[in-house]
Structure 1
Amino acid sequence: MKNSFLYMNIYDDLKKKIDQGFFRDGDRIPSEEELKTRFGVSMITVKKALSMLKEEGLLQRIPGVGTFVKGRTLNNEEEEKESNIPTVKKIGLVMEHVSSSFGLDLLYKLDRSLEESGYKMITRFSYYSSEKETEEIDFLLDSGIEGLIVMPCHGVYYNPRILKLILEGFPVVVIDKKMEGISVPSVRTDNKQAIKTLVKYLWEQGCRKLGFASSEIVGTSSLQERKSGFYEAANEFSMEVLPECELKFDLEIYNHSAGEENIEKAVAYLTQLKGKIHGIVCTEYSLVSAFMEASRRIPIKAGKEIQICCVDGPEDLEIPHMKQNEIEMADEIVKLLTAQINGTGMNKDILVPAILKVQKGSE
């Protein structure tokens, strides 16, 4: 990626001038704005180059004064100001949201692992809004982060801000989704494997006719992969695939109950297939409540007349589900990000296997 080394042009230029004595100890180097204009790059690229020179002990920044070649003798006031500045390395994290079904363990493990690696993590949330996502990324960049972990918003189009960072070589790791056609390190659950494991479990329980439920899939790689895995597994086990059911994606953060529109769709779907459907695979835990409520209204005995299962879910979830391995995901994310920061990173797409969770006595 030739664009990933734009910051090296600035780094090499300044380092050469320091080595050759053009900039001597105590000299003030051009401002970030001046370097940005001169090299025709973004402020992020400039900050990356200066950060590398600071880490090598060649530069030091004095807030309100400027950036100088190391060795400048500070007066007492500047020494006191410099000594009071904490040298904290920061990493930014932008998530769509977290809940008891997915994200909390990932959040805690990332924070712990990054701290062990010498970083403090700043966490922000996009709440499914691309505009909010951009706002939070800019906030983190202004905070002086050295790398970004981001779970991109659902949608057909990628956030231009994320694409710009990737092309400029800023350390980025994408989680939960794959950005097709973009060379960027990513860590996500092996979604095909997850759904195939669920289908195999249902087949072992005697299910032979399955339905598939999802929110709108367009532009969401994780859901596309789960759908593909469903049909591949159903074909592998010679199971009959019934019509799909598409429910509305619920953007409500605090209310975990199903919306009436989704419940009515689920009621109509299960009523139409009553006596024909043995099991239904939901791509997300958020869809389960609509089918559970629908089964009560019809009524159909969930777990006996029909098996309902999903990906994700809280620890006490009583239906079969695939739990994403958030601890392993966090470990891989930190490895990829710190490798990029240290200049040894590779563009890897890491798939982490999910774990089948079945309540005792339900098999």
Structure 2
Amino acid sequence: MELPLYEKIYLDLLNQIETEQLKPGDQLPTEKELANQYQVSRITSKKAVEKLVQIGAIERIRGRGSYVSKTIPDLGTLDAKSKSAQRDLPEEEPNGLIALIIPDFFKDSFGRSIMKNIEKRCAEKSYNLVVKLTYGSQEEEDEAINTMVQLGVKGILIYPVNGQHYTNSILRLVLEGFPLVLIDRYLKGIPVCSVYTDNKKAAQNLTEFLFIQGHDHIAFVSPPEEDTSSIEERIQGFQSAYLQKGIAVSPDLLLTEMFSTLPTFEKSDEFHEDLIKLRKFIEENSHVTAFIACEYEIASVLAHVLKSLGKSIPNDYAIACFDHPGWFYNDMIFTHIKQDEAAIAVTSVDLLLQQIKGESVPVKNMVEFTLVEGNTV
């Protein structure tokens, strides 16, 4: 098996000490300089230096740097042990910890399969998974990140809270080169590895499907889109489908004030408010015959309101959405975008493990989707 990058750097520096290219008392390059020299992250070069400290090959002097020890250990014995370790090395380090930080318990409609496949993939790679909830709070997210770093996790998977640009803790992890992957969305202006569905294309395809079915006036319903890339891109895809028909989207067709599905709000109060907003929107936009809901739970609330108004689905109104828990939840199967949760999970873990090994990874990683026809259009 191939050695991790930090192990290769460690062995190279050890060889330089053994051959006296680096002599006792010589100062080592800084971790930043080593990272640039070997084209790796600072955390990778740091791990290599820490291993040299552990065997006594170098010593650190606070405020001055790292120096080759004046009393060198038996490098021949160490080299033999390293070669033996290389022969027996597993694909990944065993018994390491990976953190998964999420806003709330994943829903059946989206996320539960992601969590299941993340745990499965971590187990396949001999890593243990530790999960922390943030309940949609940026403060809790900051605290969770700090806790996981102190716990000694090798890397962190984060499903960011809605409506954030970035937290200080995420920015710090990025600047330090700590292995990190964002799930379901990306953060603008922050070069951090992210894995998510091609939301713009998916929303455009869903809107075009409704156009083909004969609906000329389609509305979009979602939580607030500000600083939540997945919602923003779905709105962009919805608008793009209209523009393809040569029609500018009226702001009246966008209702982006649904709160009852967010983890930060009291469900009973916000659910009642959402019912009122939807009823008012339907009554004021009688020309609308189809809706795209940003998520399954909003589609369910919308269907409830339409039925309370004596409307039939799909005869009077069509509803399409993102994600669906399956037929066993309801005889109403929404036409929906099915995200590939297994691919999102496996890709996220694999990209995180590449970073743990010191490898560079792409920043934006989009996963394909499927449009599933139901009985609501």
The alpha carbon displacement at 1:156 in A equals 3.8
The alpha carbon displacement at 1:323 in A equals 1.6
Q: Which runs of 5+ in 1 are unaligned?
A: 1-6, 24-34, 37-44, 61-68, 73-85
- Against the structure 1 CA distance between its residues 220 and 337, is the aligned structure 2 distance closer, same or farther, given a 3 Å change threshold? same
The alpha carbon displacement at 1:246 in A equals 2.7
Give the partner amino acid of 1:89: G
The percent of aligned pairs where both chains have the same amino acid is 27
Give the partner amino acid of 1:299: G
The alpha carbon displacement at 1:344 in A equals 1.8
- Against the structure 1 CA distance between its residues 345 and 323, is the aligned structure 2 distance closer, same or farther, given a 3 Å change threshold? same
The alpha carbon displacement at 1:287 in A equals 1.6
Match of 2:294 in 1: 283
CA distance in 1, matches of 2:361, 2:119: 22
CA contact (8 A) 1:247 1:287 kept: no
Match of 1:122 in 2: 130
CA distance in 2, matches of 1:334, 1:260: 39
Q: Does 1:142 align with 2:150?
A: yes
Match of 2:351 in 1: 336
Match of 2:324 in 1: 313
Give the partner amino acid of 1:350: N
CA distance in 1, matches of 2:113, 2:288: 35
Q: Does 1:264 align with 2:264?
A: no
The alpha carbon displacement at 1:22 in A equals 5.0
The alpha carbon displacement at 1:11 in A equals 7.4
SS in 1 for 2:131: strand
SS in 1 for 2:371: strand
The alpha carbon displacement at 1:49 in A equals 5.4
* Equivalent position to 2:225, from 217, 220, 235: 217
- Against the structure 1 CA distance between its residues 297 and 214, is the aligned structure 2 distance closer, same or farther, given a 3 Å change threshold? same
Give the partner amino acid of 2:301: A
* Equivalent position to 1:322, from 315, 321, 337: 337
* Equivalent position to 2:257, from 239, 247, 270: 247
Q: Does 1:95 align with 2:114?
A: no
- Against the structure 1 CA distance between its residues 314 and 17, is the aligned structure 2 distance closer, same or farther, given a 3 Å change threshold? same
The alpha carbon displacement at 1:145 in A equals 0.8
- Against the structure 1 CA distance between its residues 253 and 131, is the aligned structure 2 distance closer, same or farther, given a 3 Å change threshold? closer
CA distance in 2, matches of 1:246, 1:181: 24
Per-residue CA deviations over 1:49-106 (Å, capped at 9, x if unaligned) read: 564467799649xxxxxxxx9889xxxxxxxxxxxxx961111111122111111111
Q: Give the stretch that moved more between structures: 160-169 or 336-345.
A: 336-345
CA distance in 2, matches of 1:310, 1:186: 23
How do residues 50-89 of structure 1 correspond to structure 2 at under 5 angstroms?
A: 51-52=47-48, 59=55, 88-89=95-96
CA distance in 2, matches of 1:56, 1:358: 59
CA contact (8 A) 1:270 1:294 kept: no
Q: Which runs of 5+ in 2 are unaligned?
A: 1-5, 32-40, 57-71, 76-92
Match of 2:360 in 1: 345
Match of 2:59 in 1: none
SS in 1 for 2:337: strand
Match of 2:83 in 1: none
- Against the structure 1 CA distance between its residues 16 and 140, is the aligned structure 2 distance closer, same or farther, given a 3 Å change threshold? farther
The alpha carbon displacement at 1:216 in A equals 1.0
SS in 2 for 1:259: helix
Match of 2:159 in 1: 151
- Against the structure 1 CA distance between its residues 265 and 362, is the aligned structure 2 distance closer, same or farther, given a 3 Å change threshold? closer
CA contact (8 A) 1:256 1:286 kept: no
* Equivalent position to 2:203, from 184, 195, 203: 195
Q: Normalising to structure 1: TM-score of the pair?
A: 0.76
The alpha carbon displacement at 1:47 in A equals 7.8
Q: Does 1:180 align with 2:191?
A: no
- Against the structure 1 CA distance between its residues 293 and 240, is the aligned structure 2 distance closer, same or farther, given a 3 Å change threshold? farther
- Against the structure 1 CA distance between its residues 231 and 225, is the aligned structure 2 distance closer, same or farther, given a 3 Å change threshold? same
The alpha carbon displacement at 1:294 in A equals 1.4
- RMSD between aligned residues: 3.7
Q: Give the stretch that moved more between structures: 230-239 or 255-264.
A: 255-264
Match of 1:31 in 2: none
CA contact (8 A) 1:94 1:126 kept: yes
Match of 2:80 in 1: none
CA distance in 2, matches of 1:16, 1:351: 41
SS in 2 for 1:309: strand
CA contact (8 A) 1:185 1:346 kept: yes
Give the partner amino acid of 1:290: V
The alpha carbon displacement at 1:264 in A equals 0.8
SS in 1 for 2:334: coil
SS in 1 for 2:203: helix
Q: Normalising to structure 2: TM-score of the pair?
A: 0.73
Per-residue CA deviations over 1:288-327 (Å, capped at 9, x if unaligned) read: 2331121022222121111111112212261111121111
- Against the structure 1 CA distance between its residues 46 and 337, is the aligned structure 2 distance closer, same or farther, given a 3 Å change threshold? closer
Give the partner amino acid of 1:200: E
- Against the structure 1 CA distance between its residues 163 and 332, is the aligned structure 2 distance closer, same or farther, given a 3 Å change threshold? same
CA contact (8 A) 1:288 1:308 kept: yes
CA distance in 1, matches of 2:140, 2:265: 18
- Against the structure 1 CA distance between its residues 286 and 253, is the aligned structure 2 distance closer, same or farther, given a 3 Å change threshold? farther
CA contact (8 A) 1:216 1:248 kept: yes
The alpha carbon displacement at 1:255 in A equals 8.6
Match of 2:35 in 1: none
- Against the structure 1 CA distance between its residues 59 and 318, is the aligned structure 2 distance closer, same or farther, given a 3 Å change threshold? farther
